[in-house]
Amino acid sequence: MEPLSSIPREARAGWRDQISDPLTVERQSALYLAESERFDGDYALQERKERAKKLVAKETRIDNLRRANIERETKRWEEMDTQDQRERQRVANLINTEKGTKNKSSAAYDPITLKYKDSLEGKTLLYEDSLVKYRAAHRAHHLYIKASAGFNPITGQETSIPVRLVDKPALEPDVAA
């Protein structure tokens, strides 16, 4: 590489020599505008028209997007409705089959409130539970009488029967049918 001092001065500052007048703009430049065009026309009106054209284009684009969004959303809702209808139809078909009863509680009572359901199964379960309590009370009474013979074997005192007998539950007419 040559030292800067060995390059002639004209070669070093060549771009300065090519410009004759720094205030003139050449025709091929982006800044060039003919003198007849510089003061010819109402630029405010042209600018207003340009802005109006851009605004119309923007509003058209927004309307097209809005219309496309509405169509897409309508299609999505219609698909959701058809899917919901298919699901309802599937559930309706499953209700009458064995698969439809798999999630059904087999107990005829509500496990949270411990109350019997107001249905035929609930009344049947209430009757059967009452029969179990009735038999348990009679069994306890019978065992107490047979085991203690009416007195305490340690103290020899007579004892009263602590088990209270309950009446046999009655079968309701709609359960018996």
Q: What is the pLDDT of residues 81-120, one digit of tens each?
A: 999 999 999 888 888 777 666 666 667 777 788 888 888 8
21 has a pLDDT exceeding 60: yes
- pLDDT tier at 176, thresholds 50, 70, 90: low
8 A C-beta contact, residue 127 and residue 171: yes
pLDDT at residue number 125: 86
pLDDT at residue number 59: 97
Output the CA–CA distances (angstroms, integers) from residue 52 to 13, 49, 140, 143, 158, in the order listed.
49, 5, 100, 105, 114
Distance CA 44, CA 38 (A): 13
Rg (CA), the chain: 51
